[in-house]
Amino acid sequence: MTQQELYRDTFSALRPSEARVQEVMDMTNSKTRRRRLGRRTLGALAACAALCLMVVGANAATGGAVMEWVLSVVEMEDPFRAGATLEDGSGVDIVLQRAWVEDRDGRAILVMPGEEVDITQALETDGVYHYQGTAEGWTLRAQVTGTAEDWTITVEAEDGSGQQERYTFTAHPEEG
């Protein structure tokens, strides 16, 4: 008797139970079909992606003017906070303090919400510029150090009730 014949004779007597046969059949039939996106959905996604790439390209080509325009269109009552409502109905405050220094023809311009200040002279003579202003019940204090190309701004914001917040902005945020 060869190995193959011995194998057949040994295992020919084995029979699986009905429960095992049913389990194997269930596993075979339970394959789920992958859902495919329709042509219209894919077309819409491709159009959205193309639009996003065009906006990013236009913003880069204009030196950020597109993004400045978008931000100027979105007007808020409070230049420092915006309210948002979550899906569960609860509210949340989003802090929007932004400040930066722009190099405009060798001049250092401090850009704050709703205001621009030429700080070149103060940075050259003292190495620091101090700013204080108010808007919508908030008092802002900022300290700028560095140059028009490499700067750090520390902003302290305080509302009328004494709530304080402090933020630091740098010319190269990806390094810090």
Helices (H), 64-165: 65-73, 120-125
On the question of pLDDT at 60 being above 60, the answer is yes
Confidence of residue 79 (pLDDT cuts 50, 70, 90): very low
Q: Which residue has the tokens 């740098």?
A: 170
Tell me what the mean pLDDT of segment 127-136 comes to: 83
Percent of the chain with pLDDT over 70: 76
Q: What pLDDT is attached to residue 73?
A: 52
Bigger pLDDT: 11 vs 3: 3
Q: What pLDDT is attached to residue 90?
A: 60
Grouping H, G, I as helix, E, B as strand and the rest as coil, residue 143 is strand
In order of start, what are the domains of the chain with their CATH numbers? 39-70 (no CATH), 98-175 (2.20.25)
b (16+ CB within 10 A) / e for 103-130: eeeeebbbebbeeebebbebbeeeeebe
